[in-house]
């Protein structure tokens, strides 16, 4: 490692679930100050750019290459902002950045790297519903691109047996059309058939759609890659509202 100071800066940020009002002011300020915006093309497109800012958009499965590119630009003295949807630390680019640092040149360890929090999809969905995350909960990605399916099913079954509220990220895609249905089959072996299942698609965006149905009737066809699926615990309760709407909440008090 040379003794020359590194003057670049790398921020890793979450843009929130979709509505620009749900991007934190801190993130908005950092994005505005960046010389280079890097991320998955769909997320980079959400950032309005000035003429003096550079856009580096790439495919969704190029996380490590994207991270290395960001670190190289920061090493050159640029102010780099790596963007993710939701929170950058939840199934997103923050971990890819640090994986690239760990396996990259020693100089990268001296870079000024900062991760800024964002509003993850499960928190935006929970706010729409009421308070379903009022007690213990977990988040599981159903994508088997970076981990084996048997590990996913093992963790899913254990989470169901532990009676967590479960948020499922990446529930379905054109390349993974069957995993959500298989996950529901596992949950039906453990949980009550009346357990509420939430399909929350495009939350906070103009085409937002939220459907709640019991686990026994949960239809995986309701989901796409913009959907977060949330499964209640045995303690999760529904409060009926006029017009057929309802709030969901999970009491903070638990009994054995």
- State pLDDT tens for residues 178-228: 999 999 999 999 999 999 999 999 999 999 999 999 999 999 999 998 999
Residue 1 pLDDT: 43
**Do 197 and 231 form a contact (C-beta atoms < 8 A)?**
yes
- Residue range 122-249 in CATH 3.30.950.10: yes
DSSP one-letter code for 16? B
Residue 4 pLDDT: 52
- Domain extents in the chain: 9-119, 122-249
Quickly name the fold that domain 9-119 has. Answer: Cobalt-precorrin-4 Transmethylase; domain 1 (3.40.1010)
Residue 97 pLDDT: 98
**Torsion sign, CA atoms 84, 123, 213, 18:** negative
Residues 6+ apart with CB under 8 A from 127: none
| 47-79 pLDDT per residue, tens | 988 899 999 998 877 899 999 999 999 999 999
pTM above 0.75, yes or no: yes
Range 188-209 burial, b when 16+ CB lie within 10 A, else e? eebbeeebbbbbbbbbbeeebe
| 168-190 pLDDT per residue, tens | 999 998 889 999 999 999 999 99
- Which tokens hold the place of 1? 């490692």
């Amino acid at each position: 490692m040379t003794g020359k100071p590194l003057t670049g800066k790398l921020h890793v940020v979450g843009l929130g679930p979709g509505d620009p009002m749900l991007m934190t002011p801190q993130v908005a300020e950092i994005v505005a100050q960046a010389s280079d915006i890097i991320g998955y093309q769909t997320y980079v497109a959400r950032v309005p750019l000035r003429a003096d800012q550079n856009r580096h958009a790439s495919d969704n499965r190029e996380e490590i290459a994207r991270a290395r590119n960001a670190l190289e630009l920061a090493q050159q003295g640029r102010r780099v902002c790596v963007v993710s949807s939701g929170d950058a630390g939840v199934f997103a680019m923050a971990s890819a950045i640090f994986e690239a640092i760990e396996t990259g040149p020693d100089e990268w360890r001296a870079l000024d790297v900062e991760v800024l929090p964002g509003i993850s999809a499960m928190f935006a969905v929970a706010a729409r519903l009421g308070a379903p995350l009022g007690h213990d909960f977990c988040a599981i990605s159903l994508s088997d691109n970076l981990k084996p399916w048997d590990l996913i099913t093992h963790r899913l079954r254990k989470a169901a047996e532990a009676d967590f509220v479960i948020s499922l990220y990446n529930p379905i895609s054109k390349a993974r059309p069957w995993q959500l249905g298989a996950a529901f089959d596992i949950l039906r072996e453990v949980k009550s058939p009346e357990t509420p299942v939430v399909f929350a698609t495009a939350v906070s965006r103009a085409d937002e759609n939220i459907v709640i149905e019991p686990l026994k009737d949960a239809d995986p066809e309701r989901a796409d890659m913009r959907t977060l699926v949330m499964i209640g615990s045995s303690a999760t309760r529904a409060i009926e509202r006029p017009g057929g709407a309802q709030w969901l909440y999970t009491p903070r008090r638990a009994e054995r």
